Amino acid sequence: MTALAPGRLTDVPVVLLDLDGTIVDSGPGILAALAHAFAECREPLPSEQVLRTFIGPPLTESFEGTLGLAPERSEQLRLAYSAHYQERGLLSAAPYAGIPELVRSLTARGRTVAVATNKPETSARRLLAHQGLDGEFALIGGTDRATGRDDKSAVIASVLDRLDLRSAVAEAASHEVPAAVMIGDRLHDAEGAAVHGLPAVLVGWGYGGEVELSAGLPVARTVEELSGMLLG
């Protein structure tokens, strides 16, 4: 994966932010919806430690990869989860302290700030609108099963396209300062960014845990630390 010295982040013009575990604390609502889905589908409930690893990556990836469930069973769980989460859990996620202020500070300095999340784009827009944050971002990008945009790499590609940044990313590949940086709490955020030659910073207040934070990437343990890395 592409690495970037923290001190150079102040020069990166575009900041892509993950949503769950980075902008908002969505854990309680997601965990409650997962518990409901497993009960409704009469599937053994994994430990909370395992369930917390499901926050961020596509759920079908976790159901099939971590639990070894068949695609049909995985889809049943996903639908049960989605119905409960959309009704009761989605809008309960609140922004982490300091994140709205950081986004506004970046924008005030002329930086482009966008969301790149594995949450369905319609859900991400609804959540951020509920929190009064939708107007703070140049673009809110998420997954869209209808178009096959179903992982972080595809989401980032869509965001770059809609921000008309593809050529800038290609040109920056030969420069010291990249066109954009991905900020997220899980390794899949960094892996998705690396597909496009972009660096990433992992944050310590989300759901990645120490194993992912020890992967050798730049890490911001707190919002204040991330602010210092991005703003100087």
Return d(Cα 204, Cα 163) in angstroms, integer.
28
Confidence at residue 7, expressed as pLDDT on a 0 to 100 scale? 60
Mean pLDDT value across the chain: 93
Average pLDDT over residues 11-33: 96
Total residue count of the chain as it appears in this document: 232
CATH topology of domain 27-92: DNA polymerase; domain 1 (1.10.150)
Return d(Cα 169, Cα 152) in angstroms, integer.
17
For residue 231, the one-letter residue type is L
Start-end of H helices in 45-110:
48-52, 59-61, 71-84, 99-108
Burial class (CB in 10 A: 0-12, 13-18, 19+), 71: exposed
Confidence at residue 1, expressed as pLDDT on a 0 to 100 scale? 64
Which of 37, 36, 120, 29 lies closest to 73, judged by CA? 37
Average pLDDT over residues 163-188: 85
Confidence at residue 87, expressed as pLDDT on a 0 to 100 scale? 93
Confidence at residue 177, expressed as pLDDT on a 0 to 100 scale? 80
CA-atom Rg of the chain in angstroms: 17
Q: Is 6 a residue whose pLDDT tops 60?
A: no
Residue, of 166 and 67, whose pLDDT is higher: 67
Q: Is 76 a residue whose pLDDT tops 90?
A: yes
Confidence at residue 57, expressed as pLDDT on a 0 to 100 scale? 85
pLDDT tens-digit readout, 116-164: 999 999 999 999 999 999 999 999 999 998 999 999 999 999 999 999 9
Those residues whose C-beta lies under 8 Å from the C-beta of residue 199, and which sit 6 or more positions away, are 1, 2, 3, 4, 178, 181, 182, 193, 218
Q: Mind giving me the DSSP string for 119-136?
A: EEHHHHHHHHHHTT-GGG
Query: The CATH number of 6-25+94-231 is which of 3.90.79.10, 3.40.50.1000, 3.20.20.80, 3.90.1150.10?
Result: 3.40.50.1000
Confidence at residue 3, expressed as pLDDT on a 0 to 100 scale? 63
Residue, of 3 and 142, whose pLDDT is higher: 142
Would you say 195 and 153 are in contact if contact means Cβ atoms under 8 Å apart?
yes
Confidence at residue 215, expressed as pLDDT on a 0 to 100 scale? 87
SS3 16: strand
**Which part of the chain has CATH 1.10.150.240?**
27-92
Confidence at residue 227, expressed as pLDDT on a 0 to 100 scale? 97
Confidence at residue 38, expressed as pLDDT on a 0 to 100 scale? 98
Q: How far is CA 186 from the centre of its chain?
A: 8
Would you say 128 and 115 are in contact if contact means Cβ atoms under 8 Å apart?
yes
**Which part of the chain has CATH 3.40.50.1000?**
6-25+94-231
Confidence at residue 174, expressed as pLDDT on a 0 to 100 scale? 64
For tokens 């809609």, name the residue.
162
